[in-house]
Amino acid sequence: MAYTVSTDDGHELIDVRYRGCVSIGSRIQAMNETLVLLDSTGYRRIMVDYLEAKAHLDSLASASAFASLISSDPQLRQCRITFVGSRTQQFNAVVETLADARHYPFKRFYDRASALAWLLSSASRFEPAD
């Protein structure tokens, strides 16, 4: 499987980690698993980690449909969400650009420690991302 979705109960967050070549289909499956965990835990923090992943060559239409899906979901819109990837990585560029245009509440980081600090900061606890 190209991803894992788990809870980090100590930090009250959902941890989504991708690895290898990841398609939009896999990302939809991971999103669905994340929604189940959000519902069962009540957590509203999500760290999405692309550090060990690369993008599958999905169509622009698929990327746009996925960006619309995540940005219109009422549960996700209540969350603080980080995307973590290296500075040179273009894994999520199309989806990030499209999601940002749809006011999806996420912030991009280049390491997990910075992403976690932002997710846990009291000033940003449950407000939408910048």
β-pairing, 3-8 vs 13-22, is antiparallel
- The string of DSSP codes covering 30-75 is HHHHHHHHHHHH---EEEEEEEEEEE----HHHHHHHHHHHHH-HH
**DSSP character at residue 128:** P
Distance CA 18, CA 16 (A): 7
User: For residue 126, is pLDDT > 70?
Assistant: no
Q: Which of 15-24, 77-86, 107-116, 121-130 bottoms out in mean pLDDT, i.e. has the lowest? A: 121-130
In this prediction the pTM is 0.84
Q: Exposed, middle or buried, 27 (CB in 10 Å: 0-12/13-18/19+)?
A: buried
Q: Are 98 and 61 in contact (CB under 8 A)?
A: no
Residue of 21, 74, 19, 20 whose CA lies nearest to 49: 19
- Reported as a pLDDT band with limits 50, 70 and 90, residue 8 is very high
**Percent of the chain, pLDDT > 90?**
48
The band of 99, judged by pLDDT with boundaries at 50, 70 and 90, is: low
For the cut 90, the answer to whether the pLDDT of residue 113 exceeds it is: yes
Q: What is the pLDDT of residue 55?
A: 77
Q: How do residues 35-71 score in pLDDT, each as one tens digit?
A: 999 999 999 999 999 999 887 777 888 888 888 888 8
